[in-house]
Amino acid sequence: MFVLVEMVDTVRIPPWQFERKLNDSIAEELNKKLANKVVYNVGLCICLFDIIKLEDAYVFPGDGASHTKVHFRYVVFHPFLDEILIGKIKGCSPEGVHVSLGFFDDILIPPESLQQPAKFDEAEQVWVWEYETEEGAHDLYMDTGEEIRFRVVDESFVDTSPTGPSSADATTSSEELPKKEAPYTLVGSISEPGLGLLSWWTSN
């Protein structure tokens, strides 16, 4: 679920931080820049793990700050495909079951990846597994807040870097602004025995 990623960046340290230890100032600046941010094709950055190497620092004309090239390792959330995770149901919609890990919310389990047969209850706004028993079908509801075990089956990175306006954008009214996409999303599945709500598989 968490991996160590080696990165390189040039860190700017303002003059008023020169009295501090260089490593402390660099660690603070790296966490300000990266913590809780998604790096394209890397994952969600959590926190600095360690600093591997500091190259020579430079002060450029007209800028009193120091600029140091830093080699470091960062803790990143990037589960591998087929990894089993446990989260909580954030909500349900016709698109599927939305799951949260507490620190990461962009997880979707689409309808075709639920335990089958499944149906969406419009009145309750929840997905229901119509579990077949000898006595007939028994509805198992996927309620908000329930813990759910799922398998990661796909991931998607979206480059959300700012881009200049196009001619089409210029004619778009404020009411027609495109929906903001999440920079990193996971797709899950619970279509196997043992996956789904923990309460389904817990013996009383």
177 burial (CB, 10 Å; 0-12 / 13-18 / 19+) is exposed
pLDDT at 163: 66
pLDDT tens-digit map of 132-173: 877 777 888 899 999 999 999 999 998 877 666 654 554 444
pLDDT tens-digit map of 79-94: 999 999 999 999 999 9
| Two structure tokens written together for 191 | 């279509």
Q: What is the mean pLDDT of residues 12-20?
A: 88
pLDDT at 173: 46
3-state secondary structure of 76: strand
| Two structure tokens written together for 70 | 């830093």
> Which amino acid makes up residue 195?
L
Q: Kindly state the DSSP code that residue 64 receives in the 8-state scheme.
A: -
CA distances from 175 to 163, 164, 169, 171, 178 (A): 20, 19, 12, 12, 9
